[in-house]
Amino acid sequence: MPLALIGLDADDTLWHNETYFRLTHQRFADLLAPFADPDDIEARLLAVEERNLRIYGYGAKGFTLSMLETALEISHGQVSSAILAEVLEAGRAMLSQPVEPLPGVGQALSRLAERAKLVLITKGDLFHQESKLAASGLGDFFSGVEIVSNKSPEVYARVFRRHGAEPAAALMAGNSVRSDILPPLDCGSYAALIPYHLIWAHEAAAAPHDHPRFRQLDSLDALPAWIDSLDS
């Protein structure tokens, strides 16, 4: 069955994102250094983030709230208002970072759009993700944009059908095995992993290399050739 729809993740698939999170992690560890060592701070922050995902969802705003909560927990409420203000400013800075598309993404999207309908499927804060797409200059390539709270097999199947494709005629590409690869495969779609050099621990998982509908590629620019091989 020829592909009718190609779903694409946004952060760290089309543009840089985790790099800014890592820089903010380091700034946060420096601010909390009087209360704990860096490894403990990182572990506590990850635990708070994961605990808060069902409340705040994904994105920089929820991450900022988790940093503030972690600071209060680690310091047992002794952290100064000045440090909390700097944590808040670090989160605000993430929301205003420039959107830098990854090398070759524009050309790859142009080629992919010749093969099937393109739909952006991403998690995160609605306003922030819409703002990043607008700033990226890539919006015209997409026939639809879906900003979801969770990426599950059911969500993918519903999104694909809403845009006119059965899961078996859809493909999802992204950098997260946990979010962009395993759920689409579970709903009967194809999936392409485009690794980014950094990955949030919450999104880490083993790639299903022996799955017949999965392929790991070096870059988004290699995706059209794999799609052509599927169609043939």
Confidence of residue 1 (pLDDT cuts 50, 70, 90): low
What confidence category does residue 198 fall into, taking pLDDT thresholds of 50, 70 and 90? confident
C-beta separation of 192 from 8 below 8 A: no
pTM (predicted TM-score) = 0.90
d(CA 17, CA 199): 10
Residues 68 and 52: their CA atoms lie apart, in Å, by: 12
- Contact by Cβ (8 Å): 44, 67: no
Q: What's the pLDDT band for 226 if we cut at 50, 70, 90? A: very high
pLDDT at site 202: 81
The DSSP secondary-structure symbol of 204 reads -
Average pLDDT along the chain: 94
Alpha helix segments (H runs only) across the chain = 18-31, 38-56, 60-74, 81-95, 105-113, 126-136, 153-162, 182-186, 223-231
pLDDT digits (tens, 9 = 90+) for 8-37: 999 999 999 889 999 999 999 999 999 999
Dump pLDDT digits (tens) for 54-95: 899 888 999 999 999 999 999 999 999 999 999 999 999 999
- Ordered structural domains, the chain, with CATH: 5-15+100-231 (3.40.50.1000), 18-95 (1.10.150.240)
